[in-house]
Amino acid sequence: MAVRVGIGYDVHRTAEGRPLVLGGVTFESPFGLEGHSDADVVCHAVADALLGALALGDIGTHFPPSDPTWRNASSLELLRLVRAMVEGHGARIVNVDTMVVCEAPRLAPRRDAMTVAIAQALRVGAQQVSIKATTHEGLGAIGRGEGIAAWAVAAVETA
């Protein structure tokens, strides 16, 4: 078996009047994220990392914002479709590691729920999904609360 690694990154602006969904979990928040789907930066970064590990392009290639099919789509559903692509290429997800960058909300109280939601979408154990968070210490657009970003790294085994 060979292990392949991919990296993913996503960022979305904050927007009033939308739900805030991170890692498949809806947070109580006065703002959500702007985007064509539910704008879940955590799931999007994980999807890109998995696609990258197998050189399958990126999330925008497979689920373009120009396609109305994906309007307000659940990013957990997109992650399930990416998992099916990974499995369709004879690969197995080893683990995913994410870093969410935001000033608010605090993720710690919902981190376990996010971990379980992503693990279920990927059909892996919760111990194979890591979610961490940090702030931008008030610096830049994310530090001013104008957006939320996420990085992800994924490892997959191939035959």
Q: CB-based contacts of 13: which residues, under 8 Å, 6+ apart?
A: 33, 34, 146, 147
The annotation status of 89 as a binding-site residue, yes or no, is no
The annotation status of 38 as a binding-site residue, yes or no, is no
The annotation status of 62 as a binding-site residue, yes or no, is no
Q: How far apart are CA 21 and CA 41, in angstroms?
A: 8
Q: Count of CB atoms within 10 A of residue 113's CB?
A: 15
The annotation status of 48 as a binding-site residue, yes or no, is no
Q: What is the pLDDT along the chain (159 residues), one digit of tens a residue?
A: 899 999 999 999 999 999 999 999 999 999 999 999 999 999 999 999 999 999 999 999 999 999 999 999 999 999 999 999 999 999 999 999 999 999 999 999 999 999 999 999 999 999 999 999 999 999 999 999 999 999 999 999 998
Contacts for 32-35 with beta carbons within 8 Å, 24 or more apart? 33/147, 33/148, 35/65
**Predicted pLDDT at 74:** 96
**Predicted pLDDT at 159:** 84
| Class of domain 2-158 as given by CATH | alpha beta
Helices 75-88, 111-122: crossing angle, 10 deg rounding: 40
The annotation status of 23 as a binding-site residue, yes or no, is no
The annotation status of 58 as a binding-site residue, yes or no, is yes
* Tokens coding 52: 């990258």
The annotation status of 10 as a binding-site residue, yes or no, is yes
The annotation status of 158 as a binding-site residue, yes or no, is no
**Predicted pLDDT at 1:** 85
Q: What is the pTM of this model?
A: 0.97
